[in-house]
Each structure stands twice: as structure tokens, then as C-alpha cells.
A = this chain, B = another copy of it.
Amino acid sequence: MTHPLFSIVQLEFRGPAVPIPIDRMPLSVTFAHESGGRITVPGFWDGGDRYLVRFCPELEGGWEWSSESDAPELALGTGRFVVGEARHGEHGPVRVAATFHFVHADGTPFRPVGGTVYNWLHQDEPLHGETVEAVAAAGFNKLRFMVFPQAGGYVEHFPALLPFERGADGRHDVTKPVFEFFRRLDESVARLASRGIEAEVLIFNAYDNGCFGLDTLTEDEDAVYLRYLVARLSAHANVWWSLCNEFDILDRPIERWDAAGALLAALDPHHHLRSIHNWVRLYDHTRPWVTHASVQLGQATEGFGRASLLRDAYLKPVLLDEIKYEGDVPERWGHLTGQQLVHQFWIATVSGCYASHGESFVLDDGSLHIVEGGRMRGQAPARLAFLRRLLEQVPGPGLDPVDDWWDPAFVAGVPRQVYLQYLGRQAPASWTFRLPQGRHGDRLQVGDRFEVDIIDTWNMTVAPVPGAFVLTEVGRNDAYAAGAAPVELPKGEALVLRIRRVP
């Protein structure tokens, strides 16, 4: 019997009767592939005398393993197993590709169109499960959620289940995990995976507000938690790490975040994606531990030509993880129209970036979807699913601004294959064929033939323009099809032109 590729291999050990405190690594297991590759994975305590090691194999074929530990009960274990094909639809962990984009371990491109439900983990059934179904039905392929619960505005539900037992002094004792809490976390991540959703795990957050005391852990205690969390979750192929949400609300020196991020990178044997999300001060996303920039900046997607500067600066993928929400709360972050949110997603897209969705209509209980989840009410999700389907049709890792120095039309694309030009919330009455000649990739040539689709981003239609456009003039910066009549457009709609080269 073979084990499926990208699925968790879990090894269970019986350890000493007196548990090893989790500020020490109880054991590690080295997995050796027949081709010679080796990966050492930390184990973790799962209560009583039970210790687990979880591993996500990324290569088919024969594997051997052997354990190491200071505890004789856990040391010197060995075994072997064979890994076969992945289960249908499983593509492995997501990694950075082509500087600005993402790809699964098996080479399948991943285009994030994600949702946000901060307190999802801390909701009871049936809401917890309904949220997963709603996110999947909306077509989102990633969900941002927090491990530590949130207090503060719009939070109406406070969980009884917290991650650590409390010591005699009332403080959290991070050496004593609450296993029920972490098993629920395991199951929640797996539940997302079962619906094809990446689990973006927000490790710390800035919303404790004196309610739980989880933001008063010391740096050493944070590190204990981080080691435990990584050992438990890392073998889930769909995990992404976000070190903190709105890190700069917390009054901590930046060096503490640098160190925690570097520790996270060092700990994770499966090298999941790593980021940190800001409030008003951007983190230095050029740091080596950061795999992609996770940016909150309200105005970054409100106009053309902004977000791409963050790509230029960081030379990493840019995820605009908080571009304000569709909803009806009075705060300025929470009352975008569906049209405006979809507009901002398209701006992000032609900027070569990605964005995340959130919804903030006030619910019956006074809470918001971004806090507790449930079904969605907004008009944006259907249009974002449509956007995602269009992204899935792009060849290669993703869309880049074609002429990132100066393109008045802000065309994104894959040079000489496909181009997307977003005309903004209100398209003009017509468009004359023109493409930018960028400085990267294949160069446009006189004689290249293109077909054009008019895509209505709100009404979700794709209308081919009859005929083809043949390049007659290719200049240093622009290419034209002389003689082609201007394309008539449904004026005033939020349109994208898709321009594809054909034989």
C-alpha cells in the first residue's frame, strides 16, 4: 500500500510517563528519500505519553525514517514507507514562482483569491462548518484566520477554548498546550484542505485588548508556541504562515518580529510561505525570512500604477491583504460597495499583485463576516470567482505589468501570449488596438495576430470581438494594428480587454 503524495505521514510514539515540557523538542525524525534527499522534522507532544511526528512527502518513491531524542523511549525508531501518486486535486504546498507569483509543489500555478474570517477558528458549529462551505462556494482558494482569538469591536463571541493551560499565577503556561484546542486547529486546517482552500494561519494578532492575555507572552514564550505550532501544522500541505495581523499595533521593537520571523523560517521543515501583515507601518518585506509581501494600505488599489511599485521595491509577490471591505459599517475600512471592491481587485490584478476579500455587513448578532464567518451577503464574491476563473486561464505563473516603467494603459500580461487591459469602473465608448512593448520576455513582432475579448467584470460576460488584429507597427514602446477599426465598447461598464495571440 502506498501513501499519497502531499498527504500527511503521521508517526506516533509513546514517550516518558512524565511529559517532556514543550519548550524542549521531544524528538525529531529524519526522512530519507531513495534518491538521497533528507528532511528532518520536529515532533511534538500530543498529551499523556503520546508524541507525534508529521511529515508531508513531496517525492514519490521509497522513504526511510529514523528518530532521535534525548528520551530513550522516543529514540532510535526506524521505519519505511512508499509514496505514490497524489490524491486527485492535491498539488502540494504553494511556493513563490517567477519572482512575483505562486505555484504548487507539483508545478500547478496558484492564483490567490482569498477570503478573511479572523475568528473563524473560535466559532462553534454549525457556523464553523458553514463558513468553510460559504468560502468554497464563493470560489475563494485561501482563507486568512487567527490562531489566537480576537476581542474588540464587532466581536460578539468569546471562546471558552484557549491554546494554553493557565499556571497558578493565572498566566498562560505555554509549556502546557490545551490539546483539544490544537486538535481543533488541525481539523480546521484539514477541513479547508478538503475543500481546496489554503489555510493562512495568522500566528499572532493585535486584538487581544486585555481579554485573553495572549499578547503579553514573553519573547521566549512566543518562541515555545511557535515551535509547537510549526511542529503540529507544518505537514499540512495547505498551510501559509502569517506571523501577525497588524503587527505594528503592538508596542514591540521591530527586532522582535525579525527574530520571530527568522525562527519561523528556521523551524519549518516544509518551507511554507511566510509573511507578516501591517496596520499603518509596512514591514521590511525584503528580509530573507519573508517569502511575499502581505500589505495593508487603503489607497494602494484605488488607482492605477500604485501597487506595482511595491513589487518593484520588494521583488517578491505582493498580496494586498486588506484593501477595505464590502459592507455597511460606518468605519472607513468597512463600507465599500461591491463594485468598488471588485474594481480594486482588478486594479491589483493588472498591477501584477493579488488581493484578499473581506465582508463587513453588520450581522443580526452585531458581528461581521470578517469576524465570525457564515454565509456571505455581498455582491463581490461572485465577481471575484469570475476573476479567479479568468486568472486560471492565464498561461504560466501569472500576470505582470508589461511596461512597468511607463504604460499609460497599465496593461498586464504574459509577453506575446496574453494581455489584460482594465479600463476602470467606466469604460469609454471605444478602444483602439494598441499593446505595450515591455522590456521583459518575448518581443512583439510585425505580423503577430491577436484576438480580443471584451470582459464585463461586473456582469461576468466574455464577448469575443469578431476578427483578428495584426500588428503593422512595432515601436520601441508600443505596437499598433493600423487599419483595424476601433472596437466599440459598452460604455460606462467596468471592462477588461483580453488580448490573446493566435496562430
Contact = CB atoms under 8 A, between A and B. Distances in A.
A493 interface: no
Given A302-B305, A303-B305, A312 B297 contact: yes
A332 B310 CA distance: 24
Contact of A313 (B280, B314, B407): B314
A395 to B, nearest CB: 23
A439 interface: yes
A357 interface: no
Nearest to A254: B315
Interface string A385-416: 00000000000000000001111000000000
Q: Which of A284, A300, A305, A307 has the most CB of B within 10 A?
A: A305
A459 interface: no
Given A303-B303, A306-B306, A313-B309, A332 B297 contact: no
A29 B35 CA distance: 60
A212 interface: no
A298 interface: yes
A383 interface: no
Nearest to A401: B299
A7 to B, nearest CB: 38
A487 B306 CA distance: 31
Given A299-B305, A309-B297, A284 B315 contact: yes
A18 to B, nearest CB: 48
A181 interface: no
Contacts of A284: 286, 315
Q: Which of A299, A307, A315, A439 has the most CB of B within 10 A?
A: A299
A282 interface: yes
- Interface of A, secondary structure class, is loop
B299 A407 contact: yes
**Copies held by the complex:** 2
A10 B478 CA distance: 55
Interface in A317-335: 324, 332
Contacts of A439: 280
B304 A303 contact: yes
A194 interface: no
Nearest to A331: B476
A280 B405 contact: yes
Interface in A246-295: 280-282, 284-286
A477 interface: yes
Nearest to A405: B298
A315 B284 CA distance: 8
Nearest to A298: B406
A305 B304 CA distance: 9
A310 B312 CA distance: 9
Contacts of A315: 282, 284
A302 B281 CA distance: 24
B282 A332 contact: no
A313 B282 contact: yes
A355 to B, nearest CB: 15
A309 B300 contact: yes
A258 B418 CA distance: 36
Contacts of A297: 309, 312, 405
A258 B80 CA distance: 46
6 contacts: A296-B405, A297-B405, A298-B405, A298-B406, A303-B304, A306-B309
Given A282-B313, A300-B305, 11 more contacts: A280-B404, A284-B315, A285-B313, A286-B286, A296-B405, A297-B312, A303-B305, A303-B306, A306-B306, A309-B309, A324-B406
The 8 closest A-B pairs by CB, nearest first: A298-B406, A313-B313, A309-B309, A282-B312, A286-B286, A298-B405, A299-B406, A299-B305
